[in-house]
Structure 1
Amino acid sequence: MDARSLEAIQRDPDYKELVRRRSSFGWTLSLIMLVIYFGFILLVAYAPKFLGMRLGTGVTTIGIPIGLFVIVSAFVLTAIYVSKANSKYDTLIRRIVEGA
């Protein structure tokens, strides 16, 4: 790609919109994941007895489903990003490439 094409793309309003949307959404999802993760870490640090409480009569504690939630939430947030990228961002990228 030559410098003129790159400059034309960077000036394109669709490109600026894509960068703004993707950045905003990415930071939002990152913040959600950080809150979930550090919330779990704070529970481990400050409420270990709560996490160690048994669920029912078995050996499963409250910490196990909460820990699984942390792991699953990472996959869910990734799936949300991929879904939005495939539906919204790809359309903007096609318009940018066709206009360049």
Structure 2
Amino acid sequence: MKDLLNSPKFQHLVSKKNQVAFWLTLIQLAVYYGFIYFLAFKKEVLAIKVTDVIPLGIPIGILVIIISWLLTGVYTFWANNVYDKLVEDVKKEIKES
């Protein structure tokens, strides 16, 4: 087991997963807390009318939700196309040793 934990392929796998998780989390937090910041301190910006009845805050709030879905899609795509291949490489290394 120690050989696996010290394996360069395993270390690369863990590093890549942490790196992707960090950046996607950072983007999500920036989007969400940016929206909350505007709600708390810049209400007048979100109150600007886009149409006669819809303030700017509504489409921006919807955009926050859509960005969350897109980031989930990015992670899923990355996991299916990159991460799973790295996991398979580590599994092969385990079987060989």
Give the TM-score normalised by structure 2.
0.91
| 78, 81, 98: which one aligns with 2:92 | 98
Who is 2:83 aligned against?
Answer: 89
| 68, 71, 75: which one aligns with 1:77 | 71
Q: Does 1:27 align with 2:22?
A: yes
Aligned partners of 1:86, 1:7: CA distance in 2, in Å? 27
Aligned AA (1:21): K
| 20, 24, 40: which one aligns with 1:45 | 40
Aligned partners of 2:61, 2:81: CA distance in 1, in Å? 31
SS of the residue corresponding to residue 14 of structure 1 reads: helix
Aligned partners of 1:99, 1:56: CA distance in 2, in Å? 60
Count matched residues.
94
| 54, 62, 66: which one aligns with 1:60 | 54
Deviation at 1:8, TM superposition (A): 2.7
Moved over 3 A (4+): none
Unpaired segments ≥5 residues, structure 2? none
Give the TM-score normalised by structure 1.
0.88
Unpaired segments ≥5 residues, structure 1? 1-5
Who is 2:4 aligned against?
Answer: 9
Deviation at 1:76, TM superposition (A): 0.5
Aligned AA (1:75): W
SS of the residue corresponding to residue 55 of structure 1 reads: coil
Deviation at 1:22, TM superposition (A): 0.8
Identity of aligned residues (%): 31
